[in-house]
């Protein structure tokens, strides 16, 4: 079945992902974690065909926007890969027992610029809603690796 509202995203969909830590352990909002995840996601375009745009780390979960190249690995393979590598690195450096991540993740296809803006506003305000900072701009565990187009 062809869905016309998805036509602009058939070749390169923009995906909004949320991945949580196992048992919602609050271990992600730290500089060491930020460095490891940013490095993995920065290399993922070249290695796996996935471009990561904006992202934000919360203590027990991460939100990110990603877009595949035409030759990208399937989404589930890519997520499994960076979760596996980050789990090995971070469990060792943080001296915690694996697993770091929940097996599943939430994904949502972003269908237009308004939906992208709405999702990002929600993500950006997450640390404020949780009382972790006074203003969204103050939260340091966030960034943008590649500029993604939601159009």
- Which CATH number does 13-144 carry? 3.30.70.1290
Q: DSSP readout, 71-88?
A: TPPPHHHHHHHHHHHHHH
Look up the pTM and report it.
0.90
Please compute the mean of the pLDDT values over residues 63-70 and round it to a whole number: 96
Q: Could you give the CA distance from residue 145 to residue 52 in angstroms, rounded to a whole number?
A: 6
CA dihedral for 90, 33, 24, 48, sign (positive or negative): negative
Please compute the mean of the pLDDT values over residues 113-119 and round it to a whole number: 94
pLDDT at residue 145 in the model: 97
Domains of the chain, by residue range, sit at: 13-144
Mean pLDDT rounded to a whole number for the chain:
92
Please compute the mean of the pLDDT values over residues 55-63 and round it to a whole number: 98
pLDDT band at 109 (very low <50, low <70, confident <90, very high): very high
The residue among 2 and 64 whose pLDDT is bigger is: 64
Classify 24 in phi/psi space as left (phi over 0), alpha (psi -120 to 50) or beta. Answer: left
CA atoms lying within 13 Å on the CB side of residue 27: 22
């Amino acid at each position: 079945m062809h869905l016309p509202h998805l036509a602009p995203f058939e070749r390169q969909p923009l995906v909004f992902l949320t991945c949580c830590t196992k048992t919602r352990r609050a271990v992600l909002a730290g500089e060491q974690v930020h460095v490891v995840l940013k490095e993995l996601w920065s290399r993922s375009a070249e290695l796996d065909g996935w471009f990561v745009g904006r992202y934000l780390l919360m203590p027990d979960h991460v939100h990110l926007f990603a877009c595949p190249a035409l030759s990208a690995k399937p989404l589930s393979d890519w997520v499994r890969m960076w979760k596996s590598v980050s789990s090995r690195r971070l469990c060792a450096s943080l001296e915690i027992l694996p697993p770091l991540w929940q097996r599943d993740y939430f994904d949502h296809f972003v269908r237009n610029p308004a939906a992208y803006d709405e999702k990002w506003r929600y993500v950006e305000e997450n640390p404020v809603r949780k009382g972790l900072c006074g203003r969204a701009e103050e939260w340091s565990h966030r960034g943008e690796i590649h500029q993604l187009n939601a159009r």
